[in-house]
Amino acid sequence: MAEYNPQEIEAKWQARWERDKAFDADMPAAEARTTQKSERGKYYVLEMLPYPSGTLHMGHMRNYAIGDTVARYRRMRGHNVIHPMGWDAFGLPAENAAIKNQTHPRDWTNKNIAEFKSVLHRFGFSYDWRREISTCEPEYYRWNQWFFLQMLERGLAYRKKSRVNWCPRCATVLANEQVVNGRCWRHEDTIVETREIEQWFFKITAYADELVEALNDLEGVWPDRVIAMQRNWIGKSRGARVRFQIADASGQSIEVFTTRIDTIYGAAAIILAAAHPLVDSLMAGSEAQKKNGALLEKMRRASAKAEDVATAEKDGFFTGRYAINPFSGEKLPIWVGNFVLMEYGTGAIMAVPAHDERDFEFCSKYQIPIPTVIVPQTDTKPSARAASGDSRETGDFTAIHEAFIDYGRLVNSGPYSGLTSEEALAKMTADAESRGFGKEETTYRLRDWGISRQRYWGTPIPVVYCPTHEMVPVPVDQLPVVLPPNPKLTGMGESPLAATPEFVNTTCPKCGGPARRETDTMDTFVDSSWYFLRYLSPHDAKEPFARAAANYWFPVDQYIGGITHAILHLLYARFFCKVLRDIGLLQQAEPFARLFTQGMVLKGGTAMSKSKGNVVGALDMAEKYGADTGRLYTLFAAPPEKDIEWSEASVEGAARYLRRVFALIERHSAEAKSAHGTNLEVSSLKEKERALLRKTHQTLRRVSHDFETRWHFNSAIALTMELVNEIHAAEPLERSVRPEVIREVLELLTLMLAPMIPHLAEEMWEMLGHSGGLMAARWPDYRAELAADEMVEVVAQINGRVRAKMTVEAGLAEEELVARAKAEPRVASELAGKHVVKSIVVRDKLVNFVVR
RNA sequence: GCGGAAGUGGCGGAACUGGCAGACGCGCAGGACUUAGGAUCCUGUGGCUGAGAGGCCGUGGGGGUUCAAAUCCCUCCUUCCGCACCA
């Protein structure tokens, strides 16, 4: 008897697939696209493209195993599946490795790509390798440059000064990931500074509203948390902009943004961000300036890091000036506060301490009055809190212990008193507008996307700077702007391209005079914002992607990747597609029809990563157990969206199952092959045959359901294990089961396993007498008459407790079930002398007697 | 604080629209075959209790709805993830 030899089997079938070009995906000819009716049309399955670094470990592998299972299943379902793979090849690690090892980032990257690729081949993933792309190739990144120019032309790319991390020792800009605890990664003793330099931005905020609104359509097809995270990130909030005149300042005013204009009669102060442009002029020459100048400077220098900001104590000072509340006419002191952000809203707020926690904290600290203007709606009489609330009258600043931030009913609000918050929001916004001191406004947290990187290993930004014409875009026909082959990479001093004269020095496209190239490169997220379109015509030299190909293949039907990219990558890609639609290149603006975020593979409680030293190499796995075992283990360990903790023992279990399945096919292949005909009439079946076929078709029904709806491959695999166990238990089969039945059972088992363990399934298929290979095979439909239960187990309960189990004919009438249940000895004895209040019958399931 | 997800045996996890909780696998225990086995096969395996048939308890805690709750409702607790002074 032959043993299961995965190495041999896997090599054999991988060679066969390659020979047969089994995974090449092509568009049908134009006319076939409309007439084709037997098949189900295209299906684009995509796993997030990897950054080739370190070793390809089982965490990566799990991702691809899930994608490959889906791709293979869809092929079996008759879809024209496109399943491409490529490399996110630009990036900082390549540049760092190059500096460290005195090599070129390209060499390091290509070496890693070759390694990754060989591992993916070893696992037999069904990619169309003709479509492979690498983002560091000029044929690819020239289109990044082309998109940039398109955006520049439309005002969607612009330059402005912005903060970067700066290490004074390296004299260079640091990426966020190179800043560790506020210090340089290379110089632990050196505190990172911030510097303002000119940088390029993509105006993603122009699409903020569409980006947030279109999320509604992704409900149910994208994971909830990803949608929630994107909503949160975009941070849409509706409110109003209100202008407060500055007292004694001849027409000068301060604008604030508020979502709670209904609380405006409770405003106790205006608070400005330290960076607010009016701060200096308001205080010029005043007593307040002398007193608070130092504090102001300190606030302006304070760290902008989120953790620091969130934990910093509220701090501020009075500017000595006042503003007029346009609704009440009241004079409000103008303060400067460290918790007011210049970047959000208008950089100024109205402080309503009674109804906002932050304002409450600030005003309590500085003894600013806390007037109550909203009371809970349920209060019929003024609440104790409201009654004692107005500190302007009582002079008591301690009477209120916390802010009441909910909507409610207005009090002490002039003509608006008595309205609900909802009513007041609408009415007061409208009044502010008609009276000319405010208007409805929607703000977003989302900021524009800074794409400049002071790095070598990225896409050069295609503009030049000319002394006479200033910034000049590189004409499209001069693309690509190619990276110089031999940069000086030191990681110190100015950015690498700036130190490469043959790159920097150029001529102005307008006047031909000497000019300097832009020396920043693009954020690598630009590369990954449209790569899924490049796969569709990867070698196109005339355009980024062929329109016809996009019309056919786009959007991605199923995108699969890690939750780590829930915000940035997925948001940028959505943004890009909207721009591409507006340029006229796409008809559809949402790139990913369905998104699946798979769980991580942990070892020792943390995600596998080279730096933590807890990786299990995919190649090692394949060499020791085989690719199919590796795949089966990662699919079986948990549902694909959950994290799994690496367990070598469970890998052994997966290997054991495959050996068992292989041996099963081996034992019966001769009989199966001897079968003639396929007609399996229910009436002609012997008891044992009927039982086996029933189990098989029931398994098929449930496995199909798992594949189709929830992707719970773990339960699908468990179901096939049950089937295998049942076949085992029925052995020996030779005398009691006809070859036709054996063949049917084993074929269906093979087909069910095929998407998950493709090599072994091919081998099994061949052992069962098929020469065509599984690529031509279709996912089978279960036969209802074979899956049907003839006898079912029905439970007899008394007051919800199981008292007997009966095996009865399926579909028995309710009265008959009650009669049979009552006939059960245990039921009969317990019911004796008791009054049955009620009998509940669930057909084919249970009978429950309620007794007193 | 806000938002999202999740709490089921020793472990990973099953249980479709409320209907026998613990499928399947790992681990463990016992056995068979074997020179041997970390190969293979068989049996057992939630807890307590009982000689046994069986009984009682049991899906994070508490309460509720129901003939019936892991599943629905209320409430509390815990864990993980994301955002975090966003006006």
Q: What is the pLDDT of residues A268-295, one digit of tens each?
A: 999 999 989 999 999 988 888 999 988 8
Beta strands in A114-246 (DSSP E): 133-134, 157-167, 172-174, 179-180, 183-184, 193-202, 237-246
Strand B close residues, chain A 231-250, CB < 7 angstroms: 232-233, 235, 237, 239
Residue A38 has pLDDT above 70, yes or no: no
Rg for chain A, CA atoms, rounded: 35
Q: What is the pLDDT of residue A386?
A: 41
Cβ burial of A303 (10 Å; 0-12, 13-18, 19+) is exposed
Q: Report the largest interatomic distance among the alpha carbons of chain A, rounded to a whole angstrom.
A: 111
The pLDDT of residue A362? 92
Residues 643-682 of A with CB under 7 A from strand B: 643-645, 647, 649-650, 652-654, 656-657, 659-660, 663
Short-list A597, A246, A215, A266, CA closest to A404: A266
Residues 6+ apart with CB under 8 A from A32: none
Share of chain A above pLDDT 90, in %: 62
Confidence class for position A31, pLDDT limits 50, 70, 90: low
Q: Is the CB of A718 under 7 A from strand B?
A: yes
* A563 CB neighbours strand B below 7 A: yes
Which amino acid type is present at position A315?
A: D
Mean pLDDT of A364-388: 68
Nucleotide in closest CA–C1' contact with A795: B20
The mean per-residue pLDDT over the stretch A10-14 comes to 96
Q: How far is the CA of A225 from the C1' of B5 (A)?
A: 8
Round to a whole number and report the distance in Å from the CA of A444 to the C1' of B86.
8
Average pLDDT rounded to a whole number, residues A713-742: 90
> Is residue A188 pLDDT above 90, yes or no?
no
* DSSP states along A425-441: HHHHHHHHHHTTSEEEE
Strand partners, A596: A560
Say whether the CB atom of A638 is under 7 angstroms from strand B. yes
In angstroms, the CA of A614 and the C1' of B12 are apart by 20
A343: pLDDT confidence band, cut at 50, 70 and 90? confident
CA of A51 to C1' of B78 (A): 37
Q: What is the pLDDT of residues A740-778, one digit of tens each?
A: 999 999 999 999 999 999 999 999 999 999 998 999 899
Q: Quick check: A845 CB within 7 A of strand B?
A: yes
CA-to-C1' span, A637 to B9 (A): 17
pLDDT of res. A187: 77
A52: helix, strand or coil:
coil
Give per-residue pLDDT as tens, A81-132. Answer: 999 999 999 998 899 899 888 899 999 999 999 999 999 999 999 999 999 9
Q: Which residue is nearest to nucleotide B13 (CA to C1')?
A: A638
Confidence band of A384 (pLDDT split at 50, 70, 90): very low
Q: Classify residue A468 by burial, with Cβ atoms within 10 Å: 0-12, 13-18, 19+.
A: exposed
pLDDT at A385 over 50: no
Kindly determine whether the C-beta of residue A229 is less than 7 Å away from any atom of nucleic acid strand B.
Answer: yes
Region A384-399: mean pLDDT is: 46
In the numeric block, which tokens belong to residue A245?
């005149």
Q: Where are the alpha helices (DSSP H) in A372-453?
A: 384-387, 391-394, 421-434
Nearest to A738 by CA among A681, A801, A663, A818: A681
Q: Is A442 exposed, middle or buried (0-12, 13-18, 19+ CB in 10 A)?
A: middle
Give the nucleotide at minimum CA-to-C1' distance from A655. B25
Residue A493's contacts (CB-CB under 8 Å, 6 or more residues apart) are: A170, A171, A172, A499
**Chain B bases closer than 7 angstroms to a protein Cβ:** 2-5, 12-15, 19-21, 23-27, 39-42, 55-56, 67-69, 81-87
Determine if strand B comes within 7 Å of the CB of A341. yes
What is the band of A13 on the pLDDT scale with cuts at 50, 70, 90? Answer: very high
Q: At a CB cut-off of 8 Å and minimum separation 6, what does A150 contact?
A: A579, A583
Of A422, A415, A435, A405, the C-alpha closest to A242 is A435
Reading the block at residue A463, the tokens are 């503009």
Please state the three-class secondary structure of A205-243 as a single string: HHHHHHHHHHHHHHECCECHHHHHHHHHHHCCEEEEEEE
Interacting residues of A387 by C-beta distance below 8 A, sequence separation 6+: none
User: Is 50 exceeded by the pLDDT of residue A658?
Assistant: yes
For residue A186, with 0-12 CB atoms within 10 Å meaning exposed, 13-18 middle and 19 or more buried, which class applies? Answer: middle
Q: Around Cβ A434, how many Cβ atoms within 10 Å?
A: 9
pLDDT of A399 reads: 56
**Residue-level pLDDT at A308:** 56
pLDDT of residue A759: 97
pLDDT at A472: 97
The residue length of chain A stands at: 852
Contacts of A494 by beta carbon, 8 Å cutoff, 6+ apart: A171, A172
Q: Between A483 and A310, where is the model more confident?
A: A483
Q: In percent, how much of chain A has pLDDT > 70?
A: 94
pLDDT averaged over every residue in chain A: 89
**What pLDDT digit, counting tens, does each position of A430-468 carry?**
999 999 999 999 999 998 998 998 889 999 999 999 999
Report helix angle A648-673 to A627-636, nearest 10.
110
pLDDT in the model for residue A407: 86
pLDDT at A539 over 80: yes
| H-run or E-run covering A517 | strand A514-517
C-alpha distances out from residue A440 to A205, A293, A395, A437, A605, Å: 18, 35, 35, 11, 49
Measure A137 CA to B20 C1' (Å): 62
| CB < 7 A to strand B: residues 38-57, chain A | none
More confident residue, A388 or A658: A658
pLDDT exceeds 50 at position A650: yes
SS3 A607: strand
Residue A752 amino acid letter: M
Specify the higher pLDDT residue, A814 or A629. A629
CA atoms within a 13 Å half-sphere pointing along the CA-CB vector of A157: 23
- Kindly tell me the burial class for residue A581, based on how many C-beta atoms sit within 10 Å of its own C-beta (0-12, 13-18, 19 or more): middle
Give the pLDDT of residue A183: 75
pLDDT score at A380: 41
Q: Classify burial at A681, counting beta carbons within 10 Å of its beta carbon; exposed 0-12, middle 13-18, buried 19 or more.
A: exposed
The Cα–Cα gap between A590 and A555 comes to: 7
Res. A391 pLDDT band, cuts 50 70 90: very low
A313 touches strand B (CB under 7 A): yes
Give the nearest nucleotide to A302, CA to C1'. Answer: B85
Residues A310-320: pLDDT tens digits?
567 888 999 99
A304 touches strand B (CB under 7 A): no
Helix ranges (DSSP H) in A674-813:
687-705, 713-730, 739-753, 758-767, 784-787
User: What residues form DSSP beta bridges with A333?
Assistant: A322
* Proximity of residue A367 CB to strand B below 7 A: no
The answer to whether the beta carbon of residue A795 comes closer than 7 angstroms to any atom of strand B is yes
Tell me the DSSP string of A62-113: HHHHHHHHHHHHHHHTT-EEE---EE---SHHHHHHHHHHTS-HHHHHHHHH
Residue A391's nearest CA partner among A421, A370, A376 is: A370
- Which nucleotide has the least CA–C1' distance to A347? B87
Binning pLDDT at 50, 70 and 90, where does residue A622 land? very high
More confident residue, A755 or A840: A755
Tell whether the model's pLDDT for residue A175 goes beyond 90: no
Summarize pLDDT for A142-165 with one digit per residue, the tens.
999 999 999 999 999 999 988 887
